[in-house]
Structure 1
C-alpha cells in the first residue's frame, strides 16, 4: 500500500513538472520562435536545470510536439462533446464545426501553436516527419465528428472528406482574418460566417451536387 502511494505521488509530481516545462516552453516559443528557442532557455524559464528537461523530453522539437499534441487532445474533446450533445446529423456537423472554431477563437495561443506561427512561418519547420505525422493524425481525429456527421447525412467517403477539409479550411481562414483583425474591414462576425458556411456544407451533404463545397 505504501509503495503504491509513493508511486502515485511520484507520478503526480512528474506530471506537474512536465506541465511546468510545457507552459514555460510556450512562453519561450511565443517570444523566440521554435528556431530561436533552446532547451537551456526553456529550463531557465521553468526554473529547472537543463538536465531536468532532458529527463522528460529529448529535444525542444519534442517539447513543441508535446504541447501541440496536448492542445489537439483538448480540441478533440471539445468537438466530440459538441457532436455528442446534438440530436441530428446536421446539428452534429454544425456543432462540431462551430466548436472547432470556438476552441481556437478562445485560445489564440493554441492557434499560433497549431499553425506553427511560433516557428517563424506557416509550415511545420523543425519537426520531424514522424512528429508531423502523429500531429496530423491527432488533428484529423479532432475533425472526425464533422466527417462522421457528413456521412450520416448521406455523403459518400470522398465527399465527406471534402466537406471536412472544407470546414477546416473555412474555419482556419476566418480565424486568421479574425486573429489579425482583417475581418473588421468588412464589419462582419467570424463566428456567424462560420455557422452559415457549415449550414451550406450540411446542404451539400444532404443533397449531393446541390451545393459545391467552396475551394480555398
Structure 2
C-alpha cells in the first residue's frame, strides 16, 4: 500500500469514527440533555473509551456544536436543492420557505437541536459565542434564497431581510405548534397554513415584480 493510499485510509477511518461519535452523542443528548450528558456516556454509547472521544473533540459542548453545524449544513443543502429550478422570484420564495419548513417538519428532533431545546431552553446554551455566531451565519445562508427573491423583486436590503425574518418566524411558529400538537386547537394542518403564507407573500412578490417591469 502506498503512502498516499495509507493516508486516505487513515482519513476515512478517522471520519467514520467521528461520525459514529456524533451519532452516539446525538442519542445521548436526546435522552439526557446537554447538562446531564457526559463524555463517558457518549463514549459508552459509541463503544469507545473516553480518551478516544477526546482525541476528536475537546468537550461535550464541542460535540454538540458539531452536531448543530452538520444539521444546519443539511438544511442549507435542502433549501438550495429545492430552489435550483425556480424560474421566478416568487416561485423561489415559495420553494425556499416550504423547504425550510419541511426540513424541520420531517424530524422534530432536528428542531429541538436547532433551537437548543436539548440544552436548557430556547437559547444558545453550552456552546461558545463564536460557535453560535457561525451557526447563525449558516442558518441565514439557508434563508438566502428568500432574501434573494425579495431583492430580485425590487425590495431593498432591509426589506429583504424582513422578508426572510417573517418566513423564518412563520415556519418556526408553525413547527412548534405542530410538534407540541397545540395546532389541534385550531383543527388545521400546519403544512397547509405554511403553504397559505408562502402563497400570499409570493402574490405580493409577483405584484412588486410587475410594478418594476412597467
Query: In the alignment, is the contact (CA less than 8 A) between 1:153 and 1:202 conserved in 2?
Result: no
What do the CA deviations read for 1:99-153 (whole angstroms, capped 9, x no partner)?
Answer: 0000000021111100101112111112111111111011011111111111112
How many residues are aligned here? 208
Specify the alignment match of 1:137 in structure 2: 137
The equivalent residue for 2:54 is 54
In structure 1, how many angstroms separate the alpha carbons of the residues matched to 2:206 and 2:127? 39
Secondary structure class of the residue paired with 1:118: coil
1:36 is matched with: 36
1:56-75 equivalence runs, <5 A: 56-75=56-75
Whether contact under 8 Å (2:34, 2:119) holds in the other structure is yes
When normalised by structure 2's length, the TM-score is 0.93
Distance 1:149 1:13 in 2: 42
Query: Which residue does the alignment assign to 1:24?
Result: 24
Which secondary structure does the structure 2 equivalent of 1:191 belong to? helix
Q: Is the 8 A contact 1:150 1:202 kept in 2?
A: no
Contact persistence 2:89–2:205 (CA under 8 A)? no
Q: Which runs of 5+ in 2 are unaligned?
A: 209-214
TM-score, normalising length: structure 1: 0.92
CA RMSD, 1 decimal: 1.3
Confirm or deny: 8 A CA contact 1:154 1:206 kept in the other structure: no
Retained in 2: the 8 A contact 1:159–1:205? Answer: no
Shift of residue 205, structure 1, vs aligned partner: 4.0
